[in-house]
Structure 1
């Protein structure tokens, strides 16, 4: 019996030693981490429309259109007692943590908190009258002026250096692949942001520009589109579909109607009828870049309740980056009090009307003023002169990669277009960077958003830092890099 008991103890101890050995081996194994799935898209709470407002009577304003149908008129003033924009606010955008409002005179640049609209900075002197603002990354933006371009230091909320060699009026701008593209009536400037200097110039007659989902810069010349590849800087001319031109933004400058979807590879603009100061637009057109198909009558403004024709005003249209809906600003055609009849439409990407609201707001003048000036229903309308719709940035960029796992000598490629994303930005506009800690395990390269990592002939672990900057917001993430024989 004793011998039998001793035999059982020996077996048990032996099993214990084996179990301990297995646990020790398991504890030394490198864990395999799956990549994250994209988060659920966060909807915006609403959208904004900046207004030139009533020149000679008031400064620029901004109205906020909530998803529940509520309209907050003069939202910046509501958040900042006694504060106003400048004269003729013509451009607005949200970039990073701030909203930027650019006016032609007075408070030419107003910077506000993107969520609360609380004032952060005001600039009356930009060295010229304001036109537009475009962000580059989380630290630098650019302001176009009546006589050139200047940098803006986002970190310190200070004006930066001007771009030398540019002294004419600059309108719309966009940023791609290290370059700022800026349009004037006679030139398109390609500016190297790293050196803040002009690297190349296109000459001709130009109106505006935009960037499509595939990354192409679409330059609207007076008689054609010029497609510019932001990687190679090669250009290709394309006739306007059915000769429907993109109208001029000059004279009394505005941002223009040409815009692009972030969800699909399509362009939108408005079709002008008439010429000169009498030219108006009442039709939206749509060009599908991939199929090369053109809809010359996607949506047409009709008559208002009094039988008067509606037309677009200001930029006229912009595309919601999350919903792909078209936001439309319209007014009654004609002059005088026709400008006090204003509507905002929300359309599907196919031009179907989702909603229409009539804008109120009497600026405090009220019915008494209306009676005295022959406008008894004055307290139901106002001369808004809408300039441009713009949108909240509801979603931050996301880095989905958690681990890079290799065998000794193995090379792996990772498409960061798929692994670093942002729900409300076109993918090619997201800035992606990778930084490796100093190590003797791997070599790497990053080109055209493709990360290539090659393991050396040894095992071990290190890490890299992935960086994403999108719509001015920056995030960072540490990612494991493991070289192992047990994959």
Structure 2
């Protein structure tokens, strides 16, 4: 037996001796859980080709470096998936240990385990509701925005409990920040609620895109030609002028193409039209107006963004984007996913893939 083996044996004996000398109540051993099948990567929420097929979820696997399609359907072959075909999958968010996937056009809200992607519940599609986005509040409650205001959801039983007062009509993105909930409404702009009693605290007319939150807790949104920050403690605001006027996303609703880094106080947003698309992404480093002097990332020739085709990956400090080929019809078969350094904008990797996916946004762990 060599020296290394003796050392290993000594360590084992020492550990065993420690165990034997410990009182049972003093002994704590942390449980080591196996990583889930869908933890080592991120999700792409695909709108799908309305009336032809349903939306889907793709998964980018870090280990294989590949994009795997229709992973929810494959993990749940007996599920109704995202039917009906007339609806489109438009929004996804991770909350606690689940992913909430929201369809508009009277489609379902599907809840899946974030590690396994096995379905754990749903709000079936219904003519009574036309959903937009989801935000979790606590263990028991969440909010779903819709074509007619915001609804409180029982997360345990997936029931619609009530409708918030103070906002009506088409309502989209939402963000819970501290003691407030920021809600984006087509006619009212930003409506800020008290998270405890759902009373309206403040209204900001004319808001076009929102919301993103930087590490300093500030909440970001756009209005006219300006990017605003809101302090979620005092609700005081500050602003910087943008080199373009952001459009709204109400035409064929999609989540606002504005995100934030989790590492730096930096905001990224797309220069897009009301229906989506666009070819330029801008980056604003708080306090540095010159960071807006030129686009941070532009799409390659003959390629455009589609909806909220930008995401910040907190695990890799990268910006991830998807594009479709310019034009209509079969051009939508041509997709690419890109990975950029979030600090420099340097392109790290490009992966082409084919199919009528119509990617709408990303969900990261």
User: What's the TM-score once normalised by structure 2's chain length?
Assistant: 0.82
Match of 2:209 among 196, 207, 210: 207
Cα deviation for residue 81 of structure 1 reads 0.7
Separation in 1 of the partners of 2:326 and 2:291?
27
- C-alpha spacing 1:238/1:71, structure 2 compared with 1 (3 Å): closer
Separation in 1 of the partners of 2:196 and 2:127?
22
Does residue 69 (structure 1) correspond to residue 71 (structure 2)? The answer is no
Equivalence for 1:235 = 237
Equivalence for 1:173 = 174
- C-alpha spacing 1:126/1:178, structure 2 compared with 1 (3 Å): farther
Separation in 2 of the partners of 1:276 and 1:214?
30
Cα deviation for residue 276 of structure 1 reads 6.0
Cα deviation for residue 234 of structure 1 reads 1.8
Separation in 1 of the partners of 2:139 and 2:350?
36
Equivalence for 2:358 = 385
Match of 2:346 among 342, 352, 366: 352
Structure 2 counterparts to residues 37-436 of structure 1, below 5 A: 45-67=40-62, 68-83=64-79, 84-86=81-83, 87-123=87-123, 124-125=125-126, 127-186=128-187, 187-240=189-242, 243-272=243-272, 280-295=277-292, 296-303=294-301, 309-349=302-342, 350-359=344-353, 381-392=354-365
CA contact (8 A) 1:256 1:316 kept: no
Separation in 1 of the partners of 2:57 and 2:197?
35
CA contact (8 A) 2:250 2:274 kept: no
Cα deviation for residue 125 of structure 1 reads 3.7
Separation in 2 of the partners of 1:341 and 1:280?
14
- C-alpha spacing 1:72/1:311, structure 2 compared with 1 (3 Å): same
Q: What SS is found at the alignment partner of 2:264? A: coil
Q: What SS is found at the alignment partner of 2:72? A: helix
- C-alpha spacing 1:235/1:127, structure 2 compared with 1 (3 Å): farther
Cα deviation for residue 271 of structure 1 reads 2.5
- C-alpha spacing 1:235/1:126, structure 2 compared with 1 (3 Å): farther
Moved more, 67-76 or 194-203: 194-203
User: What's the TM-score once normalised by structure 1's chain length?
Assistant: 0.62
Which stretches in structure 2 are left out of the alignment for 5+ residues? 1-35
Q: What SS is found at the alignment partner of 1:55? A: coil
Which stretches in structure 1 are left out of the alignment for 5+ residues? 1-41, 304-308, 360-380, 393-487
Please list every run of at least 4 consecutive aligned residues from structure 1 whose deviation after the TM superposition is greater than 4 angstroms: none
Deviation by residue 1:130-177 (Cα, 9 ceiling, x = unmatched): 111112233322111111001222234333321013211111111112
Separation in 2 of the partners of 1:180 and 1:46?
29
Cα deviation for residue 106 of structure 1 reads 4.3
CA contact (8 A) 2:282 2:295 kept: yes
CA contact (8 A) 1:181 1:190 kept: yes
Separation in 2 of the partners of 1:312 and 1:276?
13
Give 1 or 2 for the bigger CA radius of gyration. Answer: 1
CA contact (8 A) 2:103 2:109 kept: yes
Q: What SS is found at the alignment partner of 1:54? A: coil
Q: What SS is found at the alignment partner of 1:314? A: coil
